[in-house]
Chains A and B, each alone.
Chain A
Amino acid sequence: MKKSLNERMDEASLKELMPDFDKGAEWAKLSAKLQPAKRRKVLTWQRAAAVLLLVAAASFFLLLATGNKPENATMAADAQARNWASDMMQPVPAMSSPEAQINSTGQEASTAEYVTGVTASVASVPQLQHNESHRTKEFVCNGTPCPLEICIIQTIYCKNQQPAAIATCNTLEPDQARQLKYKAPNGAGAQCNVTVDEIRIKRVTTGETIVLNAHSKPSTAQDLFNCITGKEKCDLLAGIFESDCNNQQTNRGLKIDNNCGSLIMQ
């Protein structure tokens, strides 16, 4: 019996007509195209996880850097340090709103705090709030012609909490005098200890930053901290700026002393 055209074609073998056709390979391509929605979901999660990991790693290195800055206080901070510092000071204030004070020229100055450490996890932030912001006993006067931002970077160690780094930043306009804010344990029964890791003094207009830490010379961060909190009489050189606020390349040492009552930076 004669077979119809359709029957003959239906009975034909693809192997005979197209020997190199790979059914499996074609299915692999097809199934990859068939499941994009599922894969997109997986990718979304993978992306989210990657971002979280990246943020955690970046914060970890930031904390490490905050605690272990190389010795550099005898001179003005190098360009890398300046960039790093100005980047670091950018975050949104995390704990309190900026305060303002009126300086002698009628300009406003601000204070802001930033949680800087990785380990300042959500859980540890409420604990930080129990550690009050103190003000320096002495009024600190900016005797330089340029606005200065002074950031006091501290680590708070609380019982059963991960240590958290916090930066308290104060901006002083030229000729402005004010009490600077910093963190201190809340009362005698406080469960937390606070250490001073770093003090950064930045020329706001140029971004140039002097970084004082435990290893800096001739003054350490603790020296300056003791000075500005009035714990010690002092007359110290914090560092040297390479340029003034007009970016003029003239070295300017930043001296701080409280020998005559108020602490003057000049």
Chain B
Amino acid sequence: MRVDLSNITDEAYLVKCCKNNEPAAQHFLYNKYVEDMMILCLRYVPDAEDAKEVLMDGFLSFFKNMEQFSYQGAGSVKAWLKKIMVNCCLMNLRKRKMTFAGSGDLVQYEDTATGEDVLDNLAAKDIMKQLQQLPDGYRMVFNLYAFEGLNHREIAELLQITEGTSKSQLHRARAMLKERIGETRVNG
């Protein structure tokens, strides 16, 4: 008997169907998460075409590795998909030879700033615009820290940089954002 997946919201069941390569289930999960994932990709990869490529690679990886995923309650699918997308973004930036500007300096940076303060009161569209103007290294670290909630040790491991570099990149990113937002407000 053919199951109508359009009325099913149970992710556990959808995951099971996806493990059996059911296109209807795959389509359902794709529709559910594609917009969020595209926004995530755009945060990391400013070029729209590149971001679409990353999105495609991410979903492909998500569906092809579905066997390895074990459903652990509400939100686990999205969390896993986000992790895959972030990795794909990282790979894309590595391909483009992402650099960490000013990573050599030894100034001590506070680890307490969340990054939110600089983007206070900005709408999503403006946040995106500001993020996309940051250099690759700044943007990567800022995203991982402020949006994905990783700490500097985790970021350092993921990006294969030192914790100091991670901190300096975040600091510089925040400084640059502050400056640009300030300019915009003054000019606006």
Which A residues fall within an 8 A CB radius of B? 2, 4-6, 8-14, 16-18, 20-21, 23, 26-27, 29-31, 33-35
Please tell me if the beta carbons of A18 and B38 are within 8 angstroms of each other in the complex. yes
**B124 pairs with A11, CB closer than 8 A:** yes
A26 touches B124 (CB 8 A): no
Enumerate chain A residues within 8 angstroms of B122, measured Cβ to Cβ: 8
Do the beta carbons of A5 and B115 come within 8 Å of each other? yes
The total of interchain contacts (Cβ-Cβ below 8 angstroms) comes to 73
Complex-state Cα separation, A10 to B40, whole angstroms:
9
Question: Which residues of B have CB within 8 Å of A17?
Answer: 39, 42, 124-125, 128
Q: Write the chain B residue with the least CB distance to A11.
A: B124
Q: Is the CB of A23 within 8 A of B42?
A: no
The tally of residues in B whose CB lies under 8 Å from a CB in A reads 33
Inter-subunit contact B127/A8 (CB<8 Å)? yes
In the complex, what residues of A have CB within 8 A of residue B38's CB? 14, 18, 21
Query: Contact: A30 with B60, CB < 8 Å?
Result: yes
User: Please, how many angstroms separate the alpha-carbon atoms of A16 and B129 in the complex?
Assistant: 12
B:65-119 near A, CB below 8 Å: 115-116, 119
CB-CB under 8 A from A18, the residues of chain B are: 38, 42, 48
10 A/B residue pairs, CB under 8 Å, sorted by A: A4-B116, A8-B123, A12-B125, A17-B39, A18-B42, A18-B48, A21-B38, A26-B52, A30-B56, A30-B60
The answer to whether A14 and B39 touch across the interface, beta carbons within 8 angstroms, is yes
B124 (CB) vs chain A CBs: closest residue: A12
In the complex, per-residue mask of B12-51: 1 if CB is within 8 Å of any chain A CB, else 0: 0000000001010011001100111011001100001000
The 8 Å CB contact of A10, one of B36, B48, B128, is B36
Whether B27 pairs with A27 at a CB distance below 8 angstroms is yes
Q: Which of A6, A9, A18 has its CB near the most chain B CB atoms (within 10 A)?
A: A9
Assembled-state Cα–Cα distance A12/B40 (Å)? 11
Instruction: State whether the Cβ of B146 lies closer than 8 Å to any Cβ in chain A.
Output: yes
The verdict on A5 contacting B125 (CB below 8 Å), with A26-B52, A26-B56, A34-B63 known, is no
Do B60 and A34 touch (CB < 8 A)? yes
What per-residue 1/0 map shows which CB atoms of B118-157 lie under 8 Å from chain A? 0110111101100000000000000000110000000000
- In the assembled complex, the Cα of A167 lies from the Cα of B60 at a distance in Å of 57
